[in-house]
């Protein structure tokens, strides 16, 4: 792997065996109560989703704009992708990296699914000053207040995305999956540690794993911002980040998880990624990427192999019941503006 663009080794000198031996760090005694209280509070929030038809996409599927209310009455915007036929057999919530999101991921193989693509608070469509949409600053927002830190709000955005999906499609209960990459991989691990309404999850090069390691391993990306802040404010940083360790949360996950972890990554150090995977104590699968956040020769082949694995992994989510959106929506208390199809 070409390391000429970096002044450090993005493998950090770890072999695969060493990566697979990394344990999660020590956690606060009130870690469970901290997150369980937040989850229970999130369940009391009515997301009130609103959707509006945008277009029929040539790659298959209908694209809708969606908005819903998250915790603290924060408005979350994104996209909802539905099958062109209107027949829905499963659902997904799909997160994004710190680069944000410009639209749905049309390459996903789930053609019989309702797929929600939310933008986390402060980012992309959910931009909201004074929260910065720049990763360098976004990751520091309210870091001095562990109960208000921006990453906790992003976790709640995931939980309310699930609530929004079940508000729109109540018959999808038991047939929901989650996919997260980088930022949303780490947020996903934090969310799935407590979320009981998701049946299966995928975490791709997840961040926020093993915060003590993350603060000291040289890196690019949002972790560098945290490291710079940490050098000036050690106590504040540690007091907050120990509650936002995705590896600690992963120990609580109880659903089947598919992970893609990289051996080489200049933005999300592989030891942190593997700390998350290693901490998962339930059914799990691992796909080893040659690199993350870096272009490489076999990237297209690995991406295809990964998509095929995910297609197979999530097949069990398919419901025998066929849910027709256009029959469902008018009978529900949903603000629905869409394009009806001929039945």
Residue 43 belongs to a domain: yes
Confidence of residue 3 (pLDDT cuts 50, 70, 90): confident
Q: Is it the case that residue 4 has pLDDT exceeding 90?
A: no
Residue 258 belongs to a domain: yes
- The per-residue pLDDT for range 166-181, each reduced to its tens digit, is 999 999 999 999 999 9
pLDDT at 320 (0 to 100): 66
Mean pLDDT of all residues in the chain? Answer: 92
- The per-residue pLDDT for range 227-283, each reduced to its tens digit, is 999 999 999 999 999 999 999 999 999 999 999 999 999 999 999 999 999 999 999
Q: Is it the case that residue 338 has pLDDT exceeding 90?
A: no
* Count of domains observed in the chain: 1
Residue 217 belongs to a domain: yes
Which pTM does this prediction carry? Answer: 0.93
**How much is the average pLDDT of 80-96?**
92
Half-sphere exposure for 222 (CA within 13 Å, toward CB): 22
pLDDT at 332 (0 to 100): 35
d(CA 104, CA 78): 9
Half-sphere exposure for 73 (CA within 13 Å, toward CB): 0
- The per-residue pLDDT for range 9-44, each reduced to its tens digit, is 999 999 999 999 999 999 999 999 999 999 999 999
Residue 7 belongs to a domain: no
Residue 44 belongs to a domain: yes
Residue 343 belongs to a domain: no
Residue 53 belongs to a domain: yes
- Beta-bridge partner residues of 52: 65, 337
Q: Range of 165's domain? A: 16-337
> What CATH number should be reported for the domain holding residue 81?
3.40.50.1820
Q: Is it the case that residue 324 has pLDDT exceeding 80?
A: no
Q: Is it the case that residue 326 has pLDDT exceeding 60?
A: no
Q: Dig out the tokens for 211 from the structure.
A: 């915060």
Residue 10 belongs to a domain: no
Q: Is it the case that residue 331 has pLDDT exceeding 70?
A: no
Q: Which of 189, 252, 246, 200 is nearest to 92 (CA)?
A: 200
pLDDT at 329 (0 to 100): 41
């Amino acid at each position: 792997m070409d390391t000429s663009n970096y002044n450090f080794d993005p493998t950090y000198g770890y072999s695969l065996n060493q990566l697979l031996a990394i344990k999660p760090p020590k956690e606060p005694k009130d870690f469970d109560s901290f997150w369980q209280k937040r989850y229970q509070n999130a369940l009391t929030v009515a997301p009130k989703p609103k959707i509006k038809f945008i277009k029929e996409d040539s790659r298959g599927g209908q694209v809708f704009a969606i908005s819903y209310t998250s915790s603290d009455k924060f408005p979350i915007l994104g996209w909802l992708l539905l099958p062109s036929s209107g027949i829905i057999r499963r659902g997904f919530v799909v997160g994004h990296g710190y680069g944000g999101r410009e639209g749905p991921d049309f390459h996903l193989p789930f053609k019989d699914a309702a797929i929600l693509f939310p933008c986390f608070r402060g980012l992309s469509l959910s931009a909201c000053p004074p929260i910065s949409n720049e990763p360098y600053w976004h990751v520091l927002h309210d870091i001095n207040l562990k109960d208000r830190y921006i990453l906790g709000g992003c976790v709640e955005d995931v939980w309310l995305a699930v609530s929004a999906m079940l508000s729109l499609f109540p018959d999808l209960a038991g047939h929901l999956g989650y996919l997260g990459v980088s930022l949303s991989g780490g947020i996903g691990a934090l969310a799935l540690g407590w979320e009981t309404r998701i049946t299966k999850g995928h975490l791709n090069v997840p961040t926020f794993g093993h915060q003590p390691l993350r603060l000291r391993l040289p890196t690019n990306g949002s972790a560098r911002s945290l490291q710079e802040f940490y050098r000036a404010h050690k106590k504040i940083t540690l007091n907050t980040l120990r509650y936002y360790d995705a590896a600690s949360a992963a120990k609580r996950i109880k659903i089947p998880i598919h992970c893609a972890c990289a051996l080489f990554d200049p933005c999300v150090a592989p030891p942190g990624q593997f700390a998350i995977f290693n901490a998962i104590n339930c059914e799990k699968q691992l796909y080893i990427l040659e690199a993350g956040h870096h272009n490489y020769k076999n990237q297209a082949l690995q991406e295809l192999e990964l998509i095929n694995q995910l297609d197979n992994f999530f097949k069990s989510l398919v419901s025998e019941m066929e849910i027709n959106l256009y029959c469902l929506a008018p009978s529900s208390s949903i603000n629905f503006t869409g394009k009806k199809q001929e039945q």
